[in-house]
Structure 1
Amino acid sequence: MADALVEGGFAQAGYTQVSIDDCWSNGRDPNTRRLRADPDRFPHGIPYLVQYMEQRNLTLGIYADSGRKTCANFEGTYGYEELDAETFIQWGVSYVKMDACNMPDPTFRTRMYTRFGDALQQAQRKTGIGLIYSCSWAVYFGKNESTRPLTGLYHEAGCNTWRNFHDIGNSWKSLYSIIMHWADYWSDLQKKPSGTFNDADMLLVGDMSNDHGGLSVEQARLQFGFWAMIASPLFIGADVRSMSPVYRDILLNQRVIAINQDVSGRQADCVLGCSGAPAESNTGKMAASTNLQVWFKSVTTTTTTSNKASMAIAFFNLNNGSTPNNQSATLNITYQFSARRSQIGECFDLWSASTVDLCNQGRGGSSEYWEIRVVRVDDDTDFDGNTKDDPMVHVSVAALNMPPTCHRLLRIDSHSDDQIQPLLFS
């Protein structure tokens, strides 16, 4: 698998970690009590595997469980937190996914995650070697994100990333449920501490197994686009060795990956079709009944000579296709820059890799999928009360004729490096 990541261009695109999930271990050494790798699956042990990855400029991630047993009933970390943290760092793994099955008491979960987090930090201080601590703790608190202990996850347990919802299954029904969870709690999910990430689970793109039917190509693009907008970690859940070119191209789309990997780590705002979406609050619109959602986030576009402020806009038609349901949606955005500069540069459809016709000063541009209208307005008095200091810009973006379970993903660049701050959605 590691060789396929390199040879297939995945590593170059940023997929540089191979993570082992449950079922890798074979109990503990009777003398040292350290975890042992299954000798049939990993005859040379985990340190050898780490070295194999490093020779290919990859890293290795590993699975553990804070209970007495893992979810698949292998050896757990309960009572061995310090030893296992020390072992993982000595082995050279770069990422630990900590699950929470088989706890002696469910109320222990908070304590156990904090105990392992403390052990990791102590081992890292001794060695100077850091790793990513991924926690499944949050998902065990139920669905309501407003009651999640985000402060405890980061400041007490030291988690860098955490799962938020149930395990994803290889079906549109499962993917839809995760997207709707984000639609219900998007504003709560944004309250994560800076530098941490909500994990929506692995990507199904390219998983052609027969269980539950899998995803169509359009649904796979929709998942990848949504994960990019919410800044979820990108874990490929399919076999890249046998992946068809159409799915490979989805996963290797550098324009979409850049939205996910934006330096801010910011999650998108849902501005239409979600609970508390601002476009609905401002206009009385309600898109939920039509399964339409519109998401927005400010990003930075890096070129060879400069950084440009950009905005990524995603339109999602979540209808499952049981009835003909092509949809169109329009988002009106008003924003301003903090300095007087030319406001709009170029506009890109991130899937077709094409530049969308975009005209300033109110002249419309259109294509088969998009209609863009941009107007720059310099009022006599700006929002600061000063005279003509800050250009105010109106952008109207329409995604046209989207078929069921489809989305459009657009990036509009400015000529400025000032962050784009929306003032109003409608």
Structure 2
Amino acid sequence: MRRALALLTLSLCLLTAHAQQSASGQEPLTPTPPMGWMTWNFFADNIHEKDIREMADAMVASGMVEAGYNYIIIDDGWQGGRDNRNNITADPKKFPSGIKALADYVHKKGIKLGIYSDAAQLTCAGYTASLGFEEQDAKTFASWDIDYLKYDYCHAPKDSATAVERYTKMSQALRKSGREIVFGVCEWGQLKPWHWAAEAGGQLWRTTYDVRDKWKNLSSDENAEGIIDILDINAELHAYAGPGRWNDADMLVVGLYGKPGPSGDMGGVGMNDTEYESQMSLWSIMASPLIATNDVRNMNEATKRILLNKEVIAINQDPLGKQAERKVHGGAWDVFVKPLQNGEVAVAILNRGDQAKNYRIGWAELGLNGKYEVRDLWEHKSVGKGKSWKGRLQSHETKLFRLKRI
């Protein structure tokens, strides 16, 4: 079985060697991690085109689009079934103007539009999915001017070979659709997609079950991931990320504050702003897609400060495309190091503990020899020069630094 899977994977490599490149073949479709906003954790499947247009307006007005959040992704629940020619359709009550009109609206605002389907007959929420209709649905999405497809794996067999086959079939259909469409593999990491998803045509792949609006999973349910649970899985996968191929740690829950709904299930009672800031820092240094899911129309100042921090976003969007490597992991402390294109280095220091603590680290302990100027990206100022740093971190706080050698 292992040999057969290896042969299948090799064949897929040959068939889809350029799957993560643009049609021109010159550069990846996603040279940096995608950024945007997704409907699921705020609206679940209770979505309407009016809400999405309002979110697009708010993304422009708030400065999110200027900061780099340039996708709106419609998650599960948009589907209305199939017509008499088996073309997938949008729910006419939720999208009375149609998806194409919505795409036109957001495109005029400098935003790309994403949509959702599943590699089975039904989606996770029980709506019409794409198994057996891959080419037809891909052509429909292209005709609507869709830019991104999130492709889920509910109601599908749990073996790797089937997953590779189904994702490859849809990615090839997208490539033949006549439109460049980013392909997000949403298999939740159980079949280790970091080993095969790029070759199957994906530009990004989920590495864990769905994120919940909480710091840590305290239940026995593995599908109740908190920030720390996702961090500990994603942190070990740095070798698999790079331009055009990203480990997706799932959505930012910044600003949800325990809102009832998908992220509020399974103990998702909300977090404080220090913890939301940590998610932003950690997702950024791990080169995860930054996909917000809060109510952009009604953000408080703390949420704006976190989501719109351009210095932090620059770490995520650095063109070198490296995911940080965790250099320290033990007790209360995690330390991540990410090389940047201009020769500087990003360092994140996380206090995992439940009490404020003092910390000191020499840069040489991280493999960084010499002296550095240290810029705090949340305080927006230099906080020291030399061969080390020491300071105090609050419980669950992450310090995010940019180091320049001097």
- Secondary structure, counterpart of 2:343 in structure 1: strand
* 1:242 match: 298
State the match for 1:116 in structure 2: 170
RMSD: 1.9
Q: Given the alignment of the two structures, is residue 152 of structure 1 paired with residue 196 of structure 2, yes or no?
A: yes
Q: Which amino acid in structure 2 is aligned with residue 5 of structure 1?
A: M
1:349 is aligned, of 367, 371, 376, to 376
Determine if the alignment matches structure 1 residue 397 to structure 2 residue 380.
no
Aligned residue identity for 1:396 = S
**Any unmatched runs of 5+ in structure 1?**
142-147, 274-287, 301-307, 337-342, 359-372, 374-394, 416-426
Listed as ranges, the gaps of 5+ residues in structure 2 are 1-54, 217-225
Given the superposition, is the C-alpha separation of residues 40 and 258 from structure 1 closer, same or farther in structure 2, using an over 3 Å criterion? Answer: same
Structure 1 partner of 2:348: 314
In structure 2, relative to structure 1, the CA distance for the partners of 1:131 and 1:170 (3 Å cut) is: same
Match of 2:58 in 1: 4
Q: Distance in 2 between matches of 1:74 and 1:311?
A: 45
**Separation in 2 of the partners of 1:220 and 1:164?**
20
Residue 330 (structure 1) aligns with: 361
Report the 3-state secondary structure (helix = DSSP H, G, I; strand = E; otherwise coil) of the residue aligned with 2:250: coil
Is 2:114 aligned against 1:100?
no
Q: Which residue pairs with 1:26 in the alignment?
A: 80
Task: Indicate yes or no: 2:234 matched with 1:182.
Answer: yes
* Counterpart-to-counterpart distance in 1, 2:307 and 2:158: 40
Q: Tell me what 1:205 maps to.
A: 254
- Counterpart position of 1:85: 138
Q: With structure 1 as the length reference, what TM-score do the two structures score?
A: 0.74
How far off its partner does 1:407 sit?
A: 1.2
TM-score (norm 2): 0.78
Give the whole-Å Cα distance in 1 for the aligned partners of 2:193 and 2:255.
34
Q: Secondary structure at the match of 1:162?
A: strand
The CA distance in 1 between the partners of 2:311 and 2:242, in whole Å, is: 26
For the Cα contact (< 8 Å) 1:98–1:133, is it kept in 2? yes
**Which of 175, 189, 206 matches 1:139?**
189
Residue 263 of structure 2 is aligned to residue 219 of structure 1: no
Q: Deviations over 1:212-233 (max 9, x none)?
A: 3211010001000000110000
Larger radius of gyration: 1
Task: Give the Cα separation in 1 of the matches to 2:165 and 2:242.
Answer: 20
Q: 1:266 aligns with which of 322, 326, 346?
A: 322
Q: SS of the residue aligned with 1:265?
A: coil
In the alignment, is the contact (CA less than 8 A) between 2:152 and 2:185 conserved in 1? yes
Whole-Å separation in 1 of the counterparts to 2:308 and 2:337? 22
Higher relative contact order (CA 8 A, sep 6+): 2
Task: Report the alpha carbon displacement of residue 235 of structure 1 after superposing the two structures with TM.
Answer: 0.3
Q: CA deviation at 1:325?
A: 4.1
Distance (Å, rounded) in 2 between the aligned partners of 1:150 and 1:175 = 20
**Counterparts of 2:248 and 2:211, CA distance in 1:** 11
Counterpart residue identity of residue 13, structure 1: A
Matched residue SS, 1:235? strand
The residue identity in structure 2 corresponding to 1:55 is: K
The percentage of counterpart residues that share the same residue type is: 32
Deviations 1:316-347 (A, max 9, x none): 0012x3xx3424141432547xxxxxx86743
Q: 2-side partners of 1:25 and 1:228: how far apart?
A: 32
- Distance (Å, rounded) in 1 between the aligned partners of 2:282 and 2:94: 35
Verify: 1:172 aligned to 2:215, yes or no.
Answer: yes
Aligned mates of 2:241, 2:347 — CA distance in 1:
22
Structure 1 CA distance, aligned partners of 2:368 and 2:376? 21
1:140 deviation in Å? 3.4
Amino acid at match of 1:163: R
Runs of 4+ in 1 over 3 A off after TM superposition: 104-107, 343-346
Q: Is the 8 A contact 1:269 1:295 kept in 2?
A: yes
- The offset of 1:193, in angstroms, is 5.8
1:122 Cα offset (Å): 1.9
Q: Are residues 1:410 and 2:389 paired?
A: no
Inter-partner Cα distance in structure 2 for 1:180 and 1:68: 33
Q: Is the CA contact (8 Å cut-off) linking 1:50 and 1:92 kept in structure 2?
A: yes
Distance, in Å, in 1 between the alignment partners of 2:340 and 2:68 is 18
State the shift of 1:152 in Å: 2.6
Give the Cα–Cα distance (whole angstroms) in 1 for the partners of residues 65 and 315 of structure 2. Answer: 18
Structure 2 contact 149–184 (Cα < 8 Å) conserved:
yes
* Contact 1:231–1:266 (CA under 8 A) maintained in structure 2: yes
2:284 aligns to what SS in structure 1?
A: helix
User: Which residue is 2:108 aligned to?
Assistant: 55
- For 2:240, the equivalent position in structure 1 comes to 191
What count of residue pairs does the alignment treat as equivalent?
333
